[in-house]
């Protein structure tokens, strides 16, 4: 499977729905990830899930959309000399360890808007006017924050991502603030009008969450090992890459830092690991590098199959 998605054949993307369908069917019959009674949408309140199967199908569709967008960003910005579709496969497999894969909620929608934000940031150029892309990126971040309010506190980090490529510009900074504020304003008006409260706790823990925490510990070890192998490949690639590619990689490092920060907050305050799913966005790009290393690629492949095997076997534990 790794070799298949590592090749330059766009047709392998047709296998992504099959892969997502396998996880969907397994969860449907085992109920390993139990459907929540409502979906947490941040400022937009909670929606009661009347038909759980539609929520699960909607979640799978958004996961596939996110995977394809990440892969498009990866190939369009030439992180490697040739096209690869491993990042889309990695995102689908890695996200299968989180409730959002099986239940459409604000967290998964925020994934979509953060990926769209990343696509705007990657269009910035040091020698071209960046006002449009900065505004669009911050607007998308603002929309994502309406579905997941903790992102509001991370606004400075989003600007750091801009300043990786662009020098500080007051007009761009002002437009960025404006872009972020517009969706927040509309969402705040709706919040005031509807008179509901924002619940920062993502899950009601109606099921035995200890199993999911065990999954997190096991996969965290495997992810870390693959990531360590990826770092060696990334360093080798950066030594002979353009300055722009180095800056784009730095933005991904900022993404990883923000995601880890959100995950740690979730773990500390709510004893949940759902916000660590944000790590899967940059990780699906970084882990792709591990397969390209001639000497370490075989170990990365073995570790990936261990992750994939565990993602399937956990439903039968």
* Nearest alpha-carbon partner for 92 in 58, 118, 61: 61
Q: Where are the alpha helices (DSSP H) in the chain?
A: 2-6, 16-30, 52-76, 86-95, 106-121, 131-147, 155-165, 170-194, 210-239, 243-270, 280-290, 297-313
Residue ranges per domain, the chain? 2-197+211-316
What is the model's pLDDT at position 197?
74
pTM comes to 0.92
The segment with the largest mean pLDDT, out of 7-11, 74-78, 236-240, is 74-78
For residue 203, pLDDT beyond 60:
no
Which of 72-81, 105-114, 167-176, 264-273 is least confident? 264-273
Residue 195 φ/ψ region, left for φ over 0, alpha for ψ in the -120 to 50 degree band, beta for the rest: left
* Nearest alpha-carbon partner for 94 in 307, 316, 259: 307
What is the model's pLDDT at position 206?
43
- Residue reference for tokens 């409502």: 38
Contact 36, 99 (CB under 8 A): yes
- Residue reference for tokens 């353009």: 242
Q: Which two tokens stand for residue 111?
A: 């994934």
Q: Which residue has the higher pLDDT, 295 or 262?
A: 262
Contact 102, 35 (CB under 8 A): yes
For residue 123, pLDDT beyond 70:
yes
Task: Name the DSSP letter for residue 162.
Answer: H
What is the model's pLDDT at position 207?
45
* Three-state DSSP class for residue 102: coil
Neighbour count for residue 62 (Cβ, 10 Å): 19
What is the model's pLDDT at position 173?
94
Mean pLDDT on 137-154 = 93
Contact 107, 146 (CB under 8 A): no
Q: Which residue has the higher pLDDT, 171 or 267?
A: 171
Q: Which two tokens stand for residue 1?
A: 């499977």
What is the model's pLDDT at position 99?
87
What is the model's pLDDT at position 211?
62
Greatest CA separation for the chain: 60
| Averaged confidence pLDDT in the chain | 86
What is the model's pLDDT at position 162?
93
Element housing 39 (H / E): strand 38-40
Which of 41-55, 180-194, 251-265, 299-313 is least confident? 41-55
What is the model's pLDDT at position 210?
59
Q: Which residue has the higher pLDDT, 192 or 6?
A: 192
Mean pLDDT on 71-78 = 90
Mean pLDDT on 267-288 = 86
**Nearest-angstrom CA–CA distance, 164 and 169:** 13
**Nearest-angstrom CA–CA distance, 313 and 262:** 28
**Nearest-angstrom CA–CA distance, 252 and 161:** 9
Mean pLDDT on 239-255 = 87
For residue 214, pLDDT beyond 60:
yes
What is the model's pLDDT at position 225?
87
**Nearest-angstrom CA–CA distance, 135 and 218:** 40
Task: Name the DSSP letter for residue 40.
Answer: E
For residue 113, pLDDT beyond 90:
yes
What is the model's pLDDT at position 201?
63
Which of 91-95, 211-215, 224-228 is least confident? 211-215
Mean pLDDT on 135-154 = 93
């Amino acid at each position: 499977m790794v070799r298949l998605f590592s090749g330059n054949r766009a047709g392998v993307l047709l296998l992504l729905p099959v892969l997502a369908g396998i996880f969907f069917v397994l969860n449907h019959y085992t109920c390993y990830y139990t459907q929540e009674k409502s979906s947490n949408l941040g400022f937009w309140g909670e929606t009661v899930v009347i038909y759980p199967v539609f929520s699960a199908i909607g979640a799978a569709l958004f996961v596939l959309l996110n995977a394809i967008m990440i892969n498009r960003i990866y190939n369009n910005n030439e992180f490697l000399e040739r096209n690869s579709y491993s990042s889309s496969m990695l995102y689908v497999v890695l996200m299968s360890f989180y409730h959002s894969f099986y239940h459409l909620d604000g967290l998964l929608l925020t994934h979509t808007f953060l990926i769209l934000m990343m696509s705007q940031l990657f269009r910035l150029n040091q020698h071209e006017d960046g006002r449009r892309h900065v505004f669009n990126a911050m607007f998308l971040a603002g929309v994502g924050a309406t579905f997941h309010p903790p992102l509001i506190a991370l606004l400075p980090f989003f600007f750091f991502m801009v300043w990786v490529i662009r020098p500080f510009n007051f007009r761009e900074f002002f437009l960025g603030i404006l872009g972020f504020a517009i969706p927040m304003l509309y969402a705040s008006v709706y919040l005031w009008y509807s008179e509901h409260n924002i619940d920062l706790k993502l899950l009601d823990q109606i099921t035995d969450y200890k199993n999911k925490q065990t999954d997190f510990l096991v996969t965290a070890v495997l992810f870390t090992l693959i990531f360590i192998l990826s770092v060696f490949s990334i360093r080798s690639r950066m030594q002979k890459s353009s300055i722009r590619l180095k800056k784009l990689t730095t933005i991904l490092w900022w993404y990883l830092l923000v995601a880890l920060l959100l995950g740690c907050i979730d773990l500390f305050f709510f004893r949940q690991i759902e916000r660590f799913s944000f790590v899967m966005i940059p990780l699906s790009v970084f882990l792709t590098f591990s397969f390209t290393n001639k000497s370490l690629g075989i170990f990365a492949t073995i570790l990936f199959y261990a992750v994939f095997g565990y993602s399937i076997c956990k439903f039968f534990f």
